Amino acid sequence: MASPTPSAGDGARARLVHALGEVAGGDRKALKTVYDLTAAKLMGVCLRICQDREAAEDVMQEVYLKVWDRAGRFDASRASPITWLCTIARNTAIDWRRARGLGETAPVEAALDLPDGRPSAEALLEAGETRARIFDCLEALEEKPRGAIRAAFFHGRTYPELAAAAAVPLGTMKSWIRRGLLQLRGCLGDG
């Protein structure tokens, strides 16, 4: 995967953690560093949910303003910096969709059409991501729940949207996903 996200091993992760620390102290240049290291990755997150480039870039502005505000709350013991940033981007994009009214922007038929975006073990290592079990656990699910859960994650789709996209009754979609979620929790463990 060609990616401008941190890719120089521990060095890149450390640079990002360091830059976030400086952002917490009010350093604008450090925010630019964070931006340069992560914008393409976070734009991917936002664009998948917003389905509209202009909207995604509006959301991106909010994302980095949040990073500016919240950098001091980043806890490297709980998440890798890039996944922490992706979570902020995802939540901000989902909030934007909900504020706009759901379903307005999205070609829902595309909701289940996702690339198999499993990062390499090397990429995970480089990002400092230790919680990689989710990939194996998702892989172990049946195709329908797996696809629906991935669409929920990557596109920020709700139950009714997913049901419409898959042309199944709402109850069927809920059943697929809930069984899949329970199986995931069993696989991920309780700890």
Partner 1 sequence: MAEPLRPEEEDIALAAELALGLLEGDELAAARRRQLADPAFAAAVDRWVLDFAPLALGGVDAPVSAGLWQRIEARLPGEDQATVVALRRWRATAIATSAAAAVLLAILLLRPVPQPVVLPPPPVVVAQITGTGGAAFAARYDADAGMLHVRTEAMPTSRRAPELWVIPAGGKPVSLGLVAAQGNRDMAVTPAHRALLAEGATLAVTMEDAATAPHAGPSGPPVAAGKITIL
Q: Which of residues 113-172 bind partner 1 (CB under 8 A)?
A: 115-119, 123-124, 127, 129, 131-135, 138, 149-150, 152-154, 156-160, 162, 171
Instruction: State how far the Cα of 133 lies from the Cα of 92, in Å rounded to an integer.
Output: 25
We find the least distance from the C-beta atom of residue 66 to partner 1, in angstroms, to be: 8
The pair phi, psi for residue 153, each rounded to 5°, is -70, -50
Closest CA to 3 of 51, 57, 48, 39: 39
Total number of residues binding partner 1 (CB under 8 A)?
88
The DSSP-derived string for 51-95 is: --HHHHHHHHHHHHHHHHHHGGG--TTTS-HHHHHHHHHHHHHHH
With binding defined as CB under 8 A, does residue 105 bind partner 1? no
- Among the listed ranges 7-15, 42-50, 104-112, 139-147, the one in contact with partner 1 (CB under 8 A) is 42-50
11 or 26, CB closer to partner 1?
A: 26
69 or 109, CB closer to partner 1?
A: 69
- Name which of residues 43 to 82 contact partner 1 (CB under 8 A): 43-48, 53, 56-57, 60-61, 64-65, 68-75, 78-80, 82
14 or 70, CB closer to partner 1?
A: 70
14 or 114, CB closer to partner 1?
A: 114
Alpha-carbon distances of 90 from 15, 77, 120, 155, rounded to whole Å: 22, 21, 22, 9
We find the least distance from the C-beta atom of residue 49 to partner 1, in angstroms, to be: 9
Task: Kindly state the helix (H) or strand (E) to which residue 146 belongs, with its residue range.
Answer: helix 143-155
